[in-house]
Amino acid sequence: MNITKKDIDSLNAVLTVEISKDDYAANVEKVLSNYRKNANIPGFRKGHIPMGMVKKQFGKAVLVEEVNKLLQDKLNTYLTEEKLDILGNPLPKNDADINWDSEDFSFEFELGLTPDFKVDLQKKATTSYKVVADKKMLDNQVKTIRKQYGKLISKKVVAKEDEITVTFTSEEKEINNKATFSTDVIKGKKQLDSLLGAKVGDVVTLKTKGLFNDDHDNQKYLGVSHDDAHGLDIEVTLTIEEINTREMAELNQELFDKLFGEGVVTSEKELKEKIKEDAERQFMQQSDQKLLNDVVETLIETTKFDLPSDFLKRWIKSTGESKLTEEEAKAEYERSEKGLRYQLIEGKLREENKSLQITFEELKSYANNMIKAQMMQFGQINPTDEEVEGITARIMSNKEEVEKLTEQLNTNKLLQFFKENAKLKTKEVTYEEFIKEAYA
């Protein structure tokens, strides 16, 4: 057997695998001998079938199977030993021209080679958002808490900031939905004016365009689908079922203890500090995800390399679950090209930076910490090492759980790596500014 590689260019090559009779003959004879021992053919005792008849009936199929097994085995061994980085799998080039009546065979395979490139994390700066809870947000949050824990008082007429229970109806969108909300979620001035002064039992017609502060509230309060919620522009009728106002709770120690536990917070100043701390911790999760996504986009944009696109389109066309046309294969390649580019970039980073590689002990430690955090959420503040180790062992024996944990740890490592090595420019913004700027 002989395998040779011919480079077409830096991204494409052809492998030729030559197989002679000596390479496969012994295996074919062995398989046919077993067929002879075990086959049931009418007119012959089991094990006494003439070998000539066995070869005539089974010889070609056995030959094809054994040659293909040998071919795949040697091909995989060659790729491993030569350390060839390929994209997709070897693509048979001349399989339709193979003459299975001959004794020697020559197989050709197209290869798509991984491009050679460098990743420069300092080429272009990415914005890293530091999201802070400003005074306006803190004051609003305190007000919300005081309302939430305040006393509900029934009213007869709707006024600003009242809490109303209504039923929305619309024949056009088949809406019939009961909802409770504060009038301060109403964005449209005309719509709000139509509600102010209304009484229980009144029916008000409102336009949904610009009705709420956020289009997602159409889904929440009107009961429409997520797709319908965006840009919804119809008329709905609103029947007022109930009107209430909230007498805000006093900022006293009883409220502080109810919110955070006895003695943790003792003043309005400490309350705002606690709210700020908790809010900014949540903001960091969002800004971190934004940073990760943006660095990935920056790397795809700035890391230039060619791909064996024609080979990949042919590979997609031939290996899909269903038969694809050239146009469909081209469209699928265009959809997946960006993801493939980032896979190669990330692979290069992991190969060159040991800090991005995951060891079993790191994964186990990550699982341990996650379990302890979850147990604390359920009130088990000081679980024993034995309890944690037992749960960890069960998780680590579950393949799906291990894959999920590995993906989470991979993401955490990448994020930390980018924070330490990518070119970043920090920008301090309020949460409202972050939403407008980051997701405009």
Q: Which pLDDT score is estimated for 437?
A: 87
Confidence of residue 97 (pLDDT cuts 50, 70, 90): confident
pLDDT tens per residue, range 371-420: 988 888 777 777 888 888 899 999 999 999 999 999 999 999 999 999 99
In order of 154, 276, 386, 389, the CA distances from 380 in angstroms are 41, 26, 14, 15
β-strand pairing of 424-430 with 126-132: parallel
Report H helices in 96-202: 135-148, 189-195
Question: What mean pLDDT, rounded, does the chain reach?
Answer: 92
Q: Which pLDDT score is estimated for 57?
A: 82
By percentage, how much of the chain surpasses pLDDT 70?
A: 98
Confidence of residue 50 (pLDDT cuts 50, 70, 90): confident
Q: Which pLDDT score is estimated for 43?
A: 66
Query: Which domains, from first to last, does the chain contain?
Result: 2-113 (3.30.70.1050), 151-247 (3.10.50.30), 267-438 (no CATH)
Q: Which pLDDT score is estimated for 200?
A: 96
E strand segments, 102-256: 105-113, 126-132, 151-154, 163-170, 175-182, 203-207, 235-247
Question: Per this entry, what is the length of the chain?
Answer: 440
CA 295 – CA 373 distance, rounded (Å):
29
Indicate whether 321 pLDDT > 80: no
Indicate whether 191 pLDDT > 80: yes
Residue type (1 letter), 153 = I
Confidence of residue 297 (pLDDT cuts 50, 70, 90): very high
What average pLDDT does this structure show over 205-230? 92
Least confident of 10-14, 229-233, 288-292, 422-426: 229-233
CA 224 – CA 209 distance, rounded (Å):
14
Q: Which residue has the higher pLDDT, 345 or 161?
A: 345
Indicate whether 164 pLDDT > 80: yes
By percentage, how much of the chain surpasses pLDDT 90?
A: 80
Confidence of residue 51 (pLDDT cuts 50, 70, 90): confident
Q: Are residues 54 and 43 in contact, defined by beta-carbon separation less than 8 angstroms?
A: no
Indicate whether 47 pLDDT > 70: no
pLDDT tens per residue, range 248-268: 999 999 999 999 999 999 999
DSSP 386-432: HHHHHHHHHHHT-HHHHHHHHHHHHHHHHHHHHHHHS-EEEEEEEHH
In order of 23, 53, 288, 403, 439, the CA distances from 426 in angstroms are 64, 80, 12, 33, 17
Angle value at C-alpha 101, between 99 and 102, nearest 5 degrees: 75
Residue type (1 letter), 33 = S
Least confident of 128-132, 218-222, 309-313, 383-387: 383-387
DSSP 15-75: EEEEE-HHHHHHHHHHHHHHHHHH---TTS-TT---HHHHHHHHHHHHHHHHHHHHHHHHH
51 φ, ψ to 5°?
-60, -35
Indicate whether 210 pLDDT > 80: yes
Instruction: Tell me which H or E stretch contains 7.
Output: strand 2-7
Q: Which pLDDT score is estimated for 68?
A: 94
Indicate whether 45 pLDDT > 80: no
Rounded to 10 degrees, the C-alpha dihedral 147/150/153/155 comes to -10
User: What are the tokens at 183?
Assistant: 């009038």
In order of 4, 12, 284, 311, the CA distances from 112 in angstroms are 16, 5, 41, 6
Q: Please give the DSSP secondary-structure letter assigned to residue 219.
A: I
Instruction: Tell me which H or E stretch contains 86.
Output: strand 86-92
What average pLDDT does this structure show over 148-157? 93
In order of 120, 121, 289, 343, 427, the CA distances from 296 in angstroms are 12, 10, 11, 10, 19
Residue type (1 letter), 150 = G
